[in-house]
Copies of this chain bind each other. A is one copy, B any other.
Amino acid sequence: MARRLTQRGKDRREQLMTFAATRFAEQGYHPTSVSEIVAGLGVGKGVFYWYFDSKEQLFLEILKDAQQDLRRRQQQAIGEEADPVQRIVLGLRASMAWAEAHRDHNKLIQFAATETIFQTALRRGADIAAADVVKHVKEAIAQGRIRDTDPELVAQAMVGVVSHLTRVFIYERGEAADKVADDAVAFCLEGLSPA
């Protein structure tokens, strides 16, 4: 594809991606048809295929944008923080804040994890994100700030905590991301161990 786009074109493209993302998040990827997307925007079907090769490519595009945006947000939250443990905490809080603000995109990421076609694309982004955390964990271990265990494992464990708590407490029960993030941080730092 890779067309030359005018401003008008860029706007249309973004409009399609935004609208499709909400539909995908609401009713799922497969149940959302291309006809439905273009109808929702009041345009002809050809518009869709002018900007995207296929429905699948559109989804991948949205997914990539979402992952990039999340990572940007995390890095910018961490900023110049020197303490590795604090960097972990900041990244974790940023993830939850992002998930609260971008439900649609976050749901698509969760969905992509269950669909074979999208798993490889998803993993590219997920691996990058995990690598960031692993780096901080290693540094914290080297400084004796945290327990000496497999960095990869605790990094993934934290991802599991964040994503599941987000789903249950923020999405299903409508709790505030800040509050849930506090609890998630406490759990990751101390687990169940008594004070």
Contacts and interface: CB of A to CB of B under 8 A. Distances in A.
A156 interface: yes
A192 B28 contact: no
Nearest to A186: B149
Interface string A97-130: 0000000000100110111100000010000000
A160 B183 CA distance: 14
Interface in A121-175: 123, 137, 140, 144-150, 153-154, 156-157, 159-165, 167-169, 172
Give the number of copies in the complex: 2
A146 B191 CA distance: 9
A144 B184 CA distance: 21
A191 B147 CA distance: 8
A194 interface: yes
B160 A164 contact: yes
Given A114-B28, A156-B168, A195 B147 contact: yes
Nearest to A183: B153
24 contacts: A28-B116, A85-B192, A107-B114, A110-B114, A123-B172, A137-B192, A140-B192, A146-B192, A146-B193, A147-B192, A148-B195, A150-B183, A153-B165, A153-B169, A156-B165, A156-B168, A157-B184, A157-B187, A160-B160, A160-B161, A164-B164, A188-B192, A190-B192, A190-B193
